[in-house]
């Protein structure tokens, strides 16, 4: 590893330019947390239950609010329709009351097209017209929820596909999806968007109906201008250059947002930056290299499953990591980098890029937090607050009481 300790770029204490860049970047950076990230989740083999896990939508809002209070960067919480609003639009008044009570707003609305038993052979791409109709109606309900809560984004993941060659018509299923997304797009208000996610495999393993960004892009184009692509950093084959995909989507004006998580092998749902922080930095750098107008509509969201780590702790850790990596990306001298790239000064260009990544921005990020009225160390503040111990005791007691009442 190169020793850059003598490089002035690494001494930020008196660097006004670096301070301004980092402060401006953090002032504008917001990342959404998922309601399901605070609940008990697991693998296909089972789940490990945590006493502090949220079991109600109010507990999820409470946990999300705590993350936002500590980090100052997570003012919205993504909702999963069937898990958080089983009553659909009728549950909107309850959500609005929770927004007022906890000071965080409802974020992206996430339909559920994978849980119902009728979706065994697909949802919007199912061979059955009746099942497709039910799936599309759920998408339309999600649009209605989005309107009612004034939350503009409806984020769609379609788990459809097949496990064996010849068992489904891939061609027909493309048409089914085009019809479904076209109908959904027609229901959108001008201020709403639909974000279409892609995933190469899982739960199906022979073919997935929306397997890569090209398929998602074409479905967006067919649906209409308010349909944009959603990039999940865990949903790529090994070795995929995700930042190149991000750059193409930026270039085409169809990058809707991200689901951030990390992975070692597949869609592992590990905490952001825990395996490859350099990748997240590279993604942020591509975004920050374009003008502000081109990036202002990009939605950042965490989408992780914390099976072993404490739920709230892991979420705070993820938001903090995102802030630090975004701050590092803000330190890249993009004008200088462009000159070096154009002159093919390879080593100097790479060092300009890498120096920003290796810079320890934590002192400046702490300074920003204190200047904005947030704890200098969010994780330490969480532990000192006793919040996790409090919810662990309260929720364990409530669960025990519920079991006793049932018995």
The H-or-E segment that residue 149 falls in is helix 129-149
Give the start-to-end residue ranges of the domains of the chain.
29-331
pLDDT of the residue at 1: 39
Those residues of the chain that have pLDDT short of 50 are: 1-9, 406
pLDDT of residue 13: 59
Evaluate the CA torsion angle 218, 261, 303, 159 in order and state its sign. positive
CATH architecture of 29-331: Alpha-Beta Barrel (3.20)
- The pTM assigned to this predicted structure is 0.94
The confidence score (pLDDT) of residue 165 equals: 98
pLDDT of residue 10: 57
Q: CA 32 to CA 303: how far, in whole Å?
A: 9
Nearest alpha carbon to residue 132 among 143, 141, 120, 122: 122
In angstroms, rounded to a whole number, what is the distance separating the alpha carbons of residues 126 and 176? 8
Q: Tell me whether residue 143 is exposed, middle or buried, using C-beta atoms within 10 angstroms of its C-beta: 0 to 12, 13 to 18, 19 or more.
A: buried
What pLDDT is attached to residue 41? Answer: 83
pLDDT value, residue 207: 98
């Amino acid at each position: 590893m190169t020793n850059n300790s003598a490089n002035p770029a690494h001494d930020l204490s008196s660097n006004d330019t670096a301070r301004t860049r980092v402060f401006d970047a953090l002032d504008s950076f917001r990342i959404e947390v998922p309601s399901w990230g605070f609940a008990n989740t697991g693998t296909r083999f089972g789940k490990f239950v945590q006493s502090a896990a949220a079991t109600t939508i109010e507990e999820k809002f409470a946990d999300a609010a705590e993350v936002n209070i500590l980090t100052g960067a997570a003012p919205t919480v993504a909702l999963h329709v069937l898990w958080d609003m089983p009553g659909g639009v009728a549950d909107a008044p309850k959500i609005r009351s929770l927004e007022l009570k906890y000071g965080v707003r409802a974020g992206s609305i996430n339909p559920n097209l994978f849980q119902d038993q009728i979706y065994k052979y697909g949802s919007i791409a199912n061979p059955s017209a009746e099942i497709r109709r039910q799936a599309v109606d759920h998408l339309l309900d999600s649009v209605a929820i989005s309107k009612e809560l004034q939350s503009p984004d409806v984020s769609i993941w379609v788990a459809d596909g097949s496990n064996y060659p010849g068992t489904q018509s891939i061609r027909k299923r493309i048409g089914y999806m085009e019809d479904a997304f076209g109908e959904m797009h027609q229901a959108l208000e001008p201020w709403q968007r639909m974000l279409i996610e892609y995933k190469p495999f899982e739960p199906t393993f022979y073919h997935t109906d929306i397997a890569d960004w090209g398929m998602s892009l074409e479905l967006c184009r067919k649906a209409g201008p308010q349909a944009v692509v959603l990039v999940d950093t865990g949903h790529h084959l090994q070795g995929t250059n995700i930042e190149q995909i991000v750059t193409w989507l930026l270039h085409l004006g169809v990058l809707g947002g991200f689901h951030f998580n990390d992975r070692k092998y597949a869609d592992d749902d590990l905490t952001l930056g825990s395996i490859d922080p350099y990748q997240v930095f590279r993604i942020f750098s591509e975004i920050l290299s374009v003008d502000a107008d081109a990036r202002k509509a990009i939605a950042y969201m965490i989408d992780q499953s914390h099976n072993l780590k404490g739920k709230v702790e892991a979420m705070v850790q993820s938001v903090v990591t995102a802030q630090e990596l975004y701050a590092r990306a803000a330190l890249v001298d993009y004008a200088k980098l462009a000159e070096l790239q154009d002159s093919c000064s390879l080593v100097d260009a790479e060092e300009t890029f890498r120096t920003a990544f290796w810079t320890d921005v934590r002192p400046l990020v702490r300074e920003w937090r204190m200047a904005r009225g947030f704890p200098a160390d969010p994780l330490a503040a969480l532990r000192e607050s006793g919040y996790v111990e409090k919810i662990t005791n309260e929720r364990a007691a409530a669960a025990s009481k519920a079991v006793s009442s049932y018995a």
